[in-house]
Amino acid sequence: MTIGIKEHPDAEVQKNRVLTLDDWQDKWVTRHIAFHQEQGHQLLKKHFDTFLKGQSGLRVFFPLCGKAIEMKWFADRGHTVVGVEISEIGIREFFAEQNLSYTEEPLTEIAGAKVFKVCTDYEFFREHFLILLQHFRPSQIKRNNLSLPSLWSRANIGKFDRIWDRGALVAVNPGDRDRYADIILSLLRKGYHYLLVVLSYDPTKHTGPPFYVPDAELKKLFGTKCNMQCLEEVDALEERHKTWGVDYFFEKLYLLTEK
């Protein structure tokens, strides 16, 4: 489905923009986290059942998860959720706000990284409602000059049946998109469904993040490996976007499946 939003002609304008992991950590410290949606994402809510296809016991990946409450939606249905997040504040807030107690352990494969897991005495919950979050310390990343995506593969987080990518690809520095896409593709299991939210706005008006990812670039990143279907294109302009100087702001929901 498309309602004819034009590609912005100046799509390259954000391409050299770089946010460091410290910049992201600072956003959490200074509470610049307007990206967080208290009610969860309405498009995921709408497509939730078709996304799950009635299957149980799926492994669901949340790249750059923040404290997205949607993780709980999947866990409550018995799916295993894995999130990756750089901010320990975000991770702890997620568990606190969802009333989940958790354990934390160092990740053996990667010095400085941690795994947070839901802990409970209730065995069914422990087996089927596992939420695991990984935290990578920026100092460690700088020392080894490793981007986060390469760490993900070393962390051995397994393969996934579903990916919910909102505020993730659009938050990755534009120069890191190729690497991000390669890693995401390497994490997909046969029969996967990958839901991806991208944004359409005038990138000359706002430096990002979130960044504008043109459709042509999406096709380049995923089009050879995946079938890509645009499920929705909705007007998502809010007051906070207007303060950035943009006068249109659309969200596009793509479903990527195996070719």
Count the site residues for ligand SAH by CB under 6 A: 18
Counting contacts by CB under 6 A, is residue 168 touching ligand SAH?
yes
Q: Is 11 helix (H, G, I), strand (E, B) or coil?
A: helix
Draw the binding track, 115-144, toward ligand SAH (x: CB under 6 A; -: no contact). Answer: ------------------------------
Q: How far is the CB of 190 from ligand SAH (least distance, A)?
A: 25
User: Tokens 């939730």 sit at which residue?
Assistant: 48
Counting contacts by CB under 6 A, is residue 90 touching ligand SAH?
yes
Q: What's the CA gap between 33 and 57, in Å, rounded?
A: 31
Instruction: Name which position in 71, 148, 187, 199 contacts ligand SAH (CB under 6 A).
Output: 148
Stretch (H or E) spanning 98: none
Going edge to edge, which strands form the sheet with 250-258? 102-106, 114-118, 131-135, 80-84, 59-62, 160-165, 188-200, 250-258, 226-235
Q: Find all residues with CB under 8 Å of 96, minimum gap 6, and list them.
A: none
Q: How far is the CB of 257 from ligand SAH (least distance, A)?
A: 21
Counting contacts by CB under 6 A, is residue 203 touching ligand SAH?
no
Query: Using CB under 6 A as the criterion, which residues of the chain lie in contact with ligand SAH when the complex forms?
Result: 21, 24, 35-36, 64-66, 68, 84-87, 90, 148, 166-168, 171
